Amino acid sequence: MIRKIVAIVVLFLSVNVLFSQELRVSKVEPPNWWSGMKYNSLQLMIYGENLIDVSLSSDNEQISVGKIYETESGKYLFVDIDLDENIQPEDYSFKISSTESEVDFTFPVFPSNKNEKNHKGFDNGDAIYLVMPDRFVNGDTSNDFVEGYVDKFQGNPTQERKGGDLQGIIDKLPYLKDLGFTTIWMNPVVENNTFRSYHGYAATDFYNVDPRLGNNELYKKIVDEAHNFDLKIIMDHVANHFSIDHPWTKSLPFDDWINGEIGNNPKANHHKMIFTDPYSDSLNIKQIEQGWFVDYMPDFNQSNQHVAKYIIQNTLWWCEFSGIDGIREDTYPYAQQDFMSDLNSVVLTEYTNFNIVGEVWTGDPVFLAGYQKNNPLRNDFDTNLPALTDFGLRDELRRFVRNESGLFKIYELFAKDYLYSNPDNLVTFVDNHDVERIMFNANGNVDRAKLAYFILLTSRGIPQIFYGSEIGMIENEDHGTLRAKFPGGFPGDERDAFTEEGRTDYENDIFDFMKTLLHIRLDHPAISQGKLKHFPPDNNIYIYFKYDKQNVYLLLVNGNETDETVDIDFVKEVFPKHKLVKVIFGEDENDRSANNYVHLPAMSAKIYKLSR
């Protein structure tokens, strides 16, 4: 009897061991690739169970299998594969084998998504509309609550999800086109199954759209529909960190997948000048590159080759899958700079018309300029980063609107543009999702805020406008509050500010002002893309020209609370073959006397077109 029991126990244990060693594959990332890609040496990240002491094979000659990297947990397997440069679109089969088990999976290769509509880049001929999808328009109420997705901040009026989604943005593409925008930047849309999830910057799945916003196919649709309206799409991308609630944190692929340890993480410092400081110490560089931005966002260790490959492939995957036109890279200085340079190089090699703007939160051009590629003052390192967020201009416009400084400070800022390799490739703004709205800073002085928008939209760089600015949303300094719902975008809203009838007189005044300037940029390309020539402001009046080979425009900004008269006799010295023809923006009265003086009302601006 005892022998029978022992035999049964041994048999049970043997079966259990065999079962526990069965190979399982639950997911492969990237989930597919495309033919016609320059980047065709991939590293598959395979998720599953018991992925230890295995081999991987493929019978197809168009794919060669390279090195296999196993992990201690057996939950992940990394495999290098090379795709033939002429690989044909189809499903390719792979087999993972061990001594006890084997499992098959397929890896699709799709036709290239490169065409004349996709991957067009963005430049100073564009005007960017920044959208926080959850706070813009609820176009599909069926995805407001999704099983398995719970945010503990739900019920907090400023921090909860409001229900905006991708369908809502699609529905408003005609509105944005009519307003005069050419490009849309959405805050991140990948899955954020965590707390305070509405903002999108704490990913729990890098390959899937958050289901409360839509799905991957809807994201691709928004790009396609935008392109049909001749609008471009910028993807907000995060290479620096992910959410503490990402499944990785329960079992890291490798101990050095992140910098530091969960529960004992290093803190980031915020000294962004250290990368151009000739005397900076490696310890300070380590603290900004390896420190966690916040405690609930583990910091990627991009010096781990598997992490680096993962981020690069994920970035390319979204570019090719969706057809986006550019990338905004979040928290740029906090990632390891040599890796970011490599990432930029790979993306721009694959998509030659593309543009990438890095978020570098410093307002001093002396430090900011060093992050832009081809900077002549950094002969030791090239970031390969084409564009930067111009916090310097934002800071000066904020001071002007708050009546803390005059127009001379803005002139001085532009005078420092020699520090940049390409000042026209700076994304300029007066506010965004991280700083208080300009109307809050204006404290009721709408005319002063309008002058800030005028300079933003007519000087140099690529202007970005935060959603709701076109109707003068004010709010306050709290992040959750300044990212308020757009009136009329949600069920139960009392009015629809997307329509003239639904806007107040105050809102229509600002809306009309901004629409006029946006269309002037479209109708007069020299104002958006031409060269800039300016003069030191005298008596707080800023005068500058925008011009190209065909057209010349004179722009005047009166930053005083009083009407002023300006002598424009100097025009014939600057452009001797030209004369003023007509006002295309501003009061269009007979304000030019025989002695070439023009009248500027208090807190106003004008644009004159010159002609030979």
Q: Which residues are catalytic?
A: 330, 359
In which residue are the tokens 């909860």 written?
160
Quote the CA–CA distance of 230 and 213 in Å, as a whole number. Answer: 23
In which residue are the tokens 């005319």 written?
447
Quote the CA–CA distance of 517 and 540 in Å, as a whole number. Answer: 22
| Terminal CA-CA length for the chain | 113
Quote the CA–CA distance of 543 and 598 in Å, as a whole number. Answer: 12
Label residue 280 exposed, middle or buried (CB < 10 Å: 0-12, 13-18, 19+): middle
Q: Find residue 150's DSSP bridge partners.
A: none
What amino acid occupies position 442?
A
164 and 197 Cβ atoms separated by less than 8 Å: no
DSSP 369: G
Q: What is the DSSP string of 410-450?
A: HHHHHHTGGGSS-GGGEEEES--TTS--HHHHHTT-HHHHH
Helix runs in 272-330, H state only: 282-290, 305-322
Label residue 9 exposed, middle or buried (CB < 10 Å: 0-12, 13-18, 19+): exposed
- Supply 485's token pair: 């719902």
Q: Find residue 366's DSSP bridge partners.
A: none
What is the DSSP pairing of strand 76-83 with strand 41-49?
Answer: antiparallel
In which residue are the tokens 């106003």 written?
604
